[in-house]
A and B are shown apart, each in its own frame.
Chain A
């Protein structure tokens, strides 16, 4: 059974810092990995989608990498801003069962 772990569970940084969020998964047989952002009381907003054949994806200040063989992905946020404060979730789409498995999330707080 696929297990997805996100470290750290919570992170507080001053504005302007570059930061890295980590996601690891136990079964490398995946189709893709997706990073989401969730604001309190809101739904999930897709940030980046990386296919299993890709190594990284970039969108603005966000860069996500994928190392499928080692079961790891990182989300890099450059020059963090208070508006980046949210919970970040990673999810893998498993080849077995075709379901998304989510990590527990990293709760990010960027202080002005």
Chain B
């Protein structure tokens, strides 16, 4: 099915463990993004990528690592999970960065709980 898919949908992990959230899009969009959504903070940008092998930090990047070896995949890794990283994580993609096209398209999200 075409679109943007995230996996897993739900994840429980322990403090200190490494965990990777996956994001895959089928449109060959150049730009991909990771956001987290928390009550009281709304949606905040973690990392974004303009193309394969080009990534940049967002507003709340500490404790996260990304890679983009292929255009269609943009995994997000929590190197050593902390309870403050309990959140809902959304991946998004966009054809254009500076407007035009269809804007942003979001995945269904991954609900991560760190215990």
Indicate which residue in B33, B102, B106, B107 contacts A49 across the interface (CB closer than 8 Å). Answer: B102
21 pairs, A vs B, C-beta closer than 8 Å:
A31-B98, A32-B103, A36-B106, A42-B108, A43-B90, A43-B107, A43-B108, A44-B90, A44-B104, A45-B106, A46-B104, A46-B106, A49-B102, A49-B103, A52-B99, A91-B43, A91-B104, A99-B48, A99-B59, A100-B43, A100-B45
Main secondary structure, interface of A, reads strand
Q: Are B99 and A42 in contact (CB under 8 A)?
A: no
Ranked 10 nearest A-B pairs via Cβ: A31-B99, A49-B103, A44-B106, A43-B108, A102-B43, A34-B103, A32-B99, A43-B106, A102-B42, A104-B42
Least CB distance from A68 to B in Å reads 12
Residue positions of A touching B, CB distance < 8 A = 31-32, 34, 36, 41-46, 49, 51-52, 89, 91, 93, 95, 98-100, 102-105
B window 65-113: CB within 8 A of A: 90, 92, 97-100, 102-109, 111
CA distance in complex: A100, B104 (Å): 9
List the B side residues contacting A99 at CB < 8 Å.
45, 48, 58-59
Indicate which residue in A46, A52, A89, A100 contacts B105 across the interface (CB closer than 8 Å). Answer: A46
Least CB distance from A32 to B in Å reads 5
